[in-house]
């Protein structure tokens, strides 16, 4: 057991005029997930009962609980106390409107995702069995299939903070997943959208997204490949 000081950014528009910090000290095993500490606070501690946050699978695959933990975007369920130390601050991810406490409005994020047509676009009818694809062709876009749409990358991006109209890294990651899929025939329309004013060129190669990704996707590299595809066509 270790004693940790937990500081959480709270805000409930129904009762609070502005956001504030709430602090608690508690003893937890150092292998405890941050999400478990939040659940413990909410369930057992005076004054924390309404704490609002999203969580579901609690092992890093559903993408519900991206938060700003000690200044870095991470999943609360993939972050153990021992990873961040005994003084822990938790804030909502930045750049999306805070609804309540750690829970933000995800609608703009999903709208951006949809704008890039994240589905397989093909001409003609499908064969009777599967379309063929070599293991090498499949490998080209493997990394970007891992995205869980948690928003950690987009909400760590200074270009997105400055301009919420920027499509953001998560959307580009998912565009990459289709642009480099040998079965897909929609890359032209996707690249055209990405080539517009609030498209891919807002990316200034800051690497925050790559650092933030809880799935270890090489996001900046993927964005670079898409930029190259716009400039010179797909390799």
Partner 1 sequence: MVTYHKFDAIVVGSGGAGLMCALELSKHKHLKTAVISKLYPPRSHTGAAQGGISASLGNMEEDSWEWHMYDTVKGSDFLGDQDAIEFMVKDAVDVVYELEHMGLPFDRNDQGKISQRQFGGHAKEFGKAPVKRAAHAADRTGHMILQTLYQNCLKNDVVFFDEYHVLDIIENKGRVAGVVALRLEDGELHVFQAKATMFATGGYGRMWKVTSNAITLTGDGVAIAYRHGIPFEDPEFYQFHPTGIYKLGILISEAVRGEGGKLMNGKGEYFMTKYAPNLKDLASRDVCSRAIYTELRAGNGAGPDKDYVYIDVRHLPPEVIDHKIPDVTGFARTYLGVEPKTEPVPIQPTAHYAMGGIPTDIDARVLRDEKNTPVPGFYAAGECACVSVHGANRLGTNSLVDIVVFGRRGGKSMVKFCEENDFAEIPADAFKPVEERIERFRQMNGKDTMYDIRAELNELMDRDVGVYRTEQGLTDAVKKIRELQQRYRNISVKDKGKYYNTELLEAMEFENLLELAEAVAVAALARKESRGGHARDDFPKRDDQNWLKHTLVVKTAKGLELKYKPVVITRFQPVERKY
What is the contact surface with partner 1 in residues (CB under 8 A)? Answer: 12-15, 31, 33, 39-40, 42-44, 49-64, 78, 80, 99-101, 103, 106, 110, 114, 117-120, 126, 128-135, 137-138, 141-142, 145-146, 148-149, 177-178, 181, 183-184
* HEC-encoded secondary structure of 190-210: HHHHHCCCCCHHHCCCCCHHH
Q: Which is nearer to partner 1, 131 or 204 (CB)?
A: 131
Considering the complex, state which of residue 8 and residue 159 has its C-beta at the smaller distance from partner 1: 8
Task: Enumerate long-range contacts of 36-45, CB under 8 Å, 24 or more apart.
Answer: 37/4, 37/6, 37/81, 37/88, 38/8, 38/76, 38/90, 38/102, 41/6, 41/8
Residue closer to partner 1, measured from CB, 59 or 228: 59
Least distance (Å) between residue 121 CB and partner 1: 9
CB of 96 to partner 1, least distance (A): 13
Taking the complex as a whole, the smallest distance from the CB of residue 134 to partner 1 amounts, in Å, to 5
Helix (H) or strand (E) holding 21: strand 20-28
- Minimum distance of partner 1 from residue 89's CB (angstroms): 21
The distance of closest approach from Cβ of residue 206 to partner 1 in the complex, given in angstroms and rounded to an integer, is 26
Tokens of 132: 């063929």
**118 vs 206, which CB is nearer to partner 1?**
118
DSSP assignment of 65-114 equals: -EEEETTEEEETTS-BHHHH-SEEEEEPPSSS-EEETTEE--HHHHHHHH
What φ, ψ does residue 126 adopt, rounded to 5°? -75, 150
- Written as six digits, the tokens of 175 are 């565009």
CB closer to partner 1 out of 6 and 159: 6
Q: Which helix (H) or strand (E) holds 116?
A: none
């Amino acid at each position: 057991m270790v004693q940790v000081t937990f500081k959480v950014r709270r805000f409930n528009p129904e009762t609070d005029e502005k956001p504030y910090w709430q602090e608690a000290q508690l003893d937890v095993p150092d292998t405890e997930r941050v999400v478990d500490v939040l659940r413990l606070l909410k369930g057992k501690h005076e004054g924390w009962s309404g704490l609002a946050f999203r969580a579901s699978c609690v092992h890093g695959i559903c993408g519900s609980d991206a938060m700003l933990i000690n200044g870095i975007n991470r999943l609360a369920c993939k972050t153990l106390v021992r990873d961040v130390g005994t003084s822990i601050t938790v804030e909502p991810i930045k750049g999306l409107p805070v609804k309540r406490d750690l829970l933000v409005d995800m609608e703009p994020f999903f709208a951006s995702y949809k704008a890039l047509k994240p589905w397989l676009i093909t001409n003609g009818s499908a064969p009777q069995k599967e379309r063929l694809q070599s293991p090498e062709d499949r490998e080209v876009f493997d990394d970007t299939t891992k995205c869980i749409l948690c928003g950690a990358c987009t909400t760590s991006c200074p270009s997105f903070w400055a301009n919420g109209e920027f499509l953001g890294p998560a959307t580009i990651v998912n565009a990459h997943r289709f642009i480099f899929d040998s079965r897909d025939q929609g890359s032209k329309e996707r690249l055209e959208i990405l080539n517009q004013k609030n498209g891919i060129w807002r990316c200034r190669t800051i690497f925050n997204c790559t650092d933030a990704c809880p799935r270890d996707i090489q996001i900046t590299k993927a964005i670079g490949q898409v930029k190259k595809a716009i400039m010179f066509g797909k390799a």
